[in-house]
Structure 1
Amino acid sequence: MQFILLLRQAPRQLAFGALHSFGSSFGQTFLVALFVPFISASLGLNETEFANIYAGITIGSALCLPVVGRWIDKVDILSYSLATMALLALGCVMISLAGNVWMLIAALFVLRLAGQGLMTHVSMTGIARYFTKHRGRALAVASFGFPLAEAILPATLLALIAAFGWRYTYAGSAVFIIIVLVPVAFLLIRRDQKFRAVPTRSSKTAAKQASDSNGPTDTTTDSMPDQLSPTDPEHPRLFRSLYVWFCMPMLAAPPLIMTALFFHQGAISTHKGIELGWFAAGFTVFAVTSVLGAFGSGPLIDKHSARRLFPWHLIPMMAGIIVLAISHQPFVILIYMGLVGITVGFATTLRTAIIPELVPLDEIGAVRSTLTAVMVLASAMGPAIYGWMFAADISIEVMLTATLIVMAVISVLSWLSERPGFYVPPGISPQDSH
């Protein structure tokens, strides 16, 4: 019921978030992977060469994200959005024209930075800044664009590739971005100055006045804690505290472990004597439970806060890995993938919802882009780390047991960092921060 009420009160803002999470798919791995065989054949690359190029580009774009991502705190979010979409469309055009490896590298860099990085950044940062009272639910709605794209675009683009070829399909994607996504984004928030505004460290009173005049008071900033005013002493920034370094492994673990285990699913299926088709079916279960996890986490975040929930969100993934480690039955793949999906769904909303609870509004973009870069780097490292373990003839059971131990340790560290007084965000009293 609260989701329906939220959609009625702020449909344009939520649609803006979902539009960008949907549009990010043009630079996401699941969609780029569809083109890999055709691009490789066209440019004379083998699978290993393309994988190495792609890993390097992913790391490079992640390193650039903290620099480019912090600009969202300095400019009108609609301008930032339109510039990001233009960059994404440029990446699509560049890859459609790539005639050699160097052009491909440049195109993929632009595509990954704009798609996986900045489009997602616009979606999550915009929603996190605008909503406070129902931030968890709002982030869950905005993130629905991810599974929607996963359900619609792969089959659509494969059909277009079969009909027109991969180059025309990527060129057509650029046209779609310019003539559909750009106008829709513009129309959704062009008159919403409150959503578009550059964030400032205004007081609670000013925030409430803006909310009363420009937006629904029960869904946005009416419950916003006081932020630092220009005359307040400077509060120690998040990255100067031990808190973030205790929590950083919790942010990096899901993308690192999930990417690695998915990447090496062939080796896992061979070791356990399970047909690879069970993993294909498992991805359907994964998609469903990730949506359920995201929407289920929203009300819990709104009720208990993201900080309180954060240390516990790896538990479903840990349970899934335990099931995978102890059984050789094919059906456990579905259970394992479903439990991993729940954690991924929770993480989608938690890792953005927690940031406004830790820093002033005008630092959300900078902090989120830095933490996102860490997660992207972790996802790039995961397959290599587990690949080294496979090369060293370490058994699957030992790998999974080691993974569980590491996840348990970092969960305890995250829980310890939430002890009273460990870190008090700017403008929030110690008794209100937990």
Structure 2
Amino acid sequence: MQFILLLRQAPRQLAFGVLHSFGSSFGQTFLVALFVPFISASLGLNATEFANIYAGITIGSALCLPVVGRWIDKVDILSYSLATLGLLALGCVMISVASNVWMLIAALFVLRLAGQGLMSHVSMTGIARYFSKHRGRALAIASFGFPLAEAILPATLLALIATVGWRYTYAGSAAFIVGVLIPVAILLIRGDQKFRAAPARKDKTAPKTASATNGESQTALNADNSNDQAAPSDPEHPRLFRSLYVWFCMPMLAAPPLIMTALFFHQGTISSHKDIDLGWFAAGFTVFAVTSVMGAFGSGPLIDKHSARRLFPWHLIPMMLGIVVLASTTQPFVILIYMGLVGITVGFATTLRTAIIPELVPLDEIGAVRSTLTAVMVLASAMGPAIYGWMFAADISIEVMLMATLIVMAVISILSWLSERPGFYVPPGISPQDSQ
């Protein structure tokens, strides 16, 4: 019922979040990968060359993200959104006319930075800032754009490629962004100054109003008192990145993208070693999509009830169980179980990794912190296939590799749990209870 209530009370703000998570797909790997064979054939690249270019671009865009991402804390979010959408459309145009490798590199860099990085950044940061009492549920709704795009766009774009070719398909994507996504984004929040405004720093010594303490009226049950919560960080209090807390938790943020990307990338090797038809993995992705949505929507109410910080140390458990299942048998049906359990962790992580940030820093620092943590996750996802590739090259058996993965995940989960001990980290000027 709370999900329905949120949709009724803030449909435009939530739709804005969904629009940007959906639009991020134009720079996401799953969609770019559809064009790889056609781009490679057109520009005379082999699979290894393209993979190396793509990995370098991914790392480069991740390094730029903390710099560009922090601007969202200082400007009107609609202006930031329009700049990001414009950059994404530009990337689509650039790749549609790329005639050499250097043009391709520039186009892919713009696509990855705007799509994978900034579009999802706008979606999650905007929702996290605006919603307070039901932040977890709101983030779950906003994240629905990711699986929605995964369900709709691949088949649609493949049909367009077959009909008009890959270049016109990318040009058409740019037209869709400019002609549909940009106008809709403007219509959704044009008149909502509260959602659009960057969080203002307020005097920490100023007395809190009733709305700051108890939330606003019931007519906006979901809409937070975010501007009232914003408080300057105590200059004597260590910043988040100077605390041990974030370094204890950083491996928990990096583990899911690193491990998931690596295992998905090397699924052919895994299927060959276990003598399982690769079609089981294809079917597993459908299960993965369903359970990731279930994980995201299931995590929302739990976050709102218990806080993201309390849940964070436990969210790798489904993925750990999935790896145990994958390592323990060669039966084909285990792939479906494994993919389903991994999907639950990914769904939980989608909402947790954003919901936890307002519980750690003032609202006017969410963009800067989230963009830095996202960069870490992107770097981890780029490193994962290479790390596991080295282990395969060293003739380490898959069973040993998976057990080592399991041990590492258990250790980093324990570290994250230890960081939640009383007094380990106290957010400056806020408390976890403020965001519930």
Shift in CA distance, 92/344, structure 1 to aligned 2, threshold 3 Å: same
1:120-140 C-alpha deviation (Å, 9 max, x unpaired): 000000000000100000000
1:228 and 2:211 equivalent?
no
- Structure 1 CA distance, aligned partners of 2:264 and 2:235? 47
Contact 2:131–2:226 (8 Å) recurs in 1: no
- Structure 1 CA distance, aligned partners of 2:47 and 2:142? 34
Give runs of aligned pairs for residues 219-298 of structure 1, distance below 5 A: 219-222=222-225, 226-229=229-232, 233-298=235-300
Residue in 2 that maps onto 1:21: 21
Could you tell me which amino acid in structure 2 is paired with residue 378 of structure 1? A
Residue in 2 that maps onto 1:194: 194
Could you tell me how far 1:234 is from its partner in structure 2?
4.8
Could you tell me which amino acid in structure 1 is paired with residue 161 of structure 2? I
- Structure 2 CA distance, aligned partners of 1:56 and 1:350? 28
Could you tell me which amino acid in structure 2 is paired with residue 200 of structure 1? A
Shift in CA distance, 234/348, structure 1 to aligned 2, threshold 3 Å: same
Residue in 2 that maps onto 1:171: 171
Contact 1:207–1:224 (8 Å) recurs in 2: no
Could you tell me how far 1:237 is from its partner in structure 2?
1.0
- Structure 2 CA distance, aligned partners of 1:325 and 1:98? 43
Contact 2:129–2:226 (8 Å) recurs in 1: no
User: 3-state SS of the aligned residue for 1:323?
Assistant: helix
Could you tell me how far 1:316 is from its partner in structure 2?
0.1
Residue in 2 that maps onto 1:145: 145
Shift in CA distance, 182/227, structure 1 to aligned 2, threshold 3 Å: closer
- Structure 2 gaps of 5+ residues are none
1:218 and 2:198 equivalent?
no
- Structure 1 CA distance, aligned partners of 2:42 and 2:361? 47
- Structure 1 CA distance, aligned partners of 2:132 and 2:410? 31
Could you tell me how far 1:313 is from its partner in structure 2?
0.1
1:178-208 C-alpha deviation (Å, 9 max, x unpaired): 0000000000000000000011233643964
Shift in CA distance, 211/172, structure 1 to aligned 2, threshold 3 Å: farther
Contact 1:10–1:216 (8 Å) recurs in 2: no
- Structure 1 CA distance, aligned partners of 2:44 and 2:181? 33
Residue in 1 that maps onto 2:5: 5
- Structure 1 gaps of 5+ residues are none
Residue in 2 that maps onto 1:425: 427
Residue in 2 that maps onto 1:93: 93
Q: 1:372 aligns with which of 361, 374, 385?
A: 374
| C-alpha RMSD of the superposition | 2.0
Give runs of aligned pairs for residues 323-338 of structure 1, distance below 5 A: 323-338=325-340
Contact 1:132–1:224 (8 Å) recurs in 2: no
User: 3-state SS of the aligned residue for 2:276?
Assistant: coil
Could you tell me which amino acid in structure 2 is paired with residue 228 of structure 1? A
- Structure 2 CA distance, aligned partners of 1:154 and 1:380? 22
Q: Percent of aligned pairs with the same residue? A: 87
Residue in 2 that maps onto 1:118: 118
Could you tell me how far 1:224 is from its partner in structure 2?
8.4
Could you tell me which amino acid in structure 2 is paired with residue 311 of structure 1? P
Shift in CA distance, 70/414, structure 1 to aligned 2, threshold 3 Å: same
Could you tell me how far 1:219 is from its partner in structure 2?
1.1
Give runs of aligned pairs for residues 9-158 of structure 1, distance below 5 A: 9-158=9-158
1:49-75 C-alpha deviation (Å, 9 max, x unpaired): 000000000000000000000000010
- Structure 1 CA distance, aligned partners of 2:54 and 2:427? 38
Residue in 1 that maps onto 2:209: 205
Shift in CA distance, 19/206, structure 1 to aligned 2, threshold 3 Å: farther
Shift in CA distance, 367/250, structure 1 to aligned 2, threshold 3 Å: same
Could you tell me which amino acid in structure 2 is paired with residue 205 of structure 1? T
Number of aligned positions between the proteins: 432
Could you tell me how far 1:11 is from its partner in structure 2?
0.4
Contact 1:130–1:221 (8 Å) recurs in 2: yes
